[in-house]
Amino acid sequence: MKSSSFLTRWGHACASFENKIYIFGGRFSNDLNDVLVIDMETKKIRTIKTPTETMPKPRRRACINFVGSCMLMFGGFNA
């Protein structure tokens, strides 16, 4: 499934883990709080389905990194 928000977002955060690149949030026409995964072996992109109650508010210009297998986010802002 392709979405133009995959291609035209800015202000997103990204980090790599186990040969995959994880992209959080950013801005398209509004602030986003989705998580995309790019598999570097298959060159495919997908959205991770996460329960709404566990997701942070939509934001851009945050930082993410992995500690073990946990993705942590710091900062960012929304309009």
pTM over 0.75: yes
- pLDDT, position 5: 53
- Cβ(60)–Cβ(73) under 8 Å? no
Listed by start position, the domains of the chain span 4-77
Q: Which helix (H) or strand (E) holds 5?
A: helix 4-7
**Could you report the per-residue pLDDT of 33-61, keeping only the tens digit for each?**
999 999 999 999 999 988 888 888 999 99
Residue 17: its pLDDT value, please? 97
Stretch (H or E) spanning 48: strand 44-48
Confidence check: pLDDT of 1 > 50: no
Is pLDDT of 2 > 70?
no
**Cα–Cα distance, 79 to 52 (Å, whole number):** 20
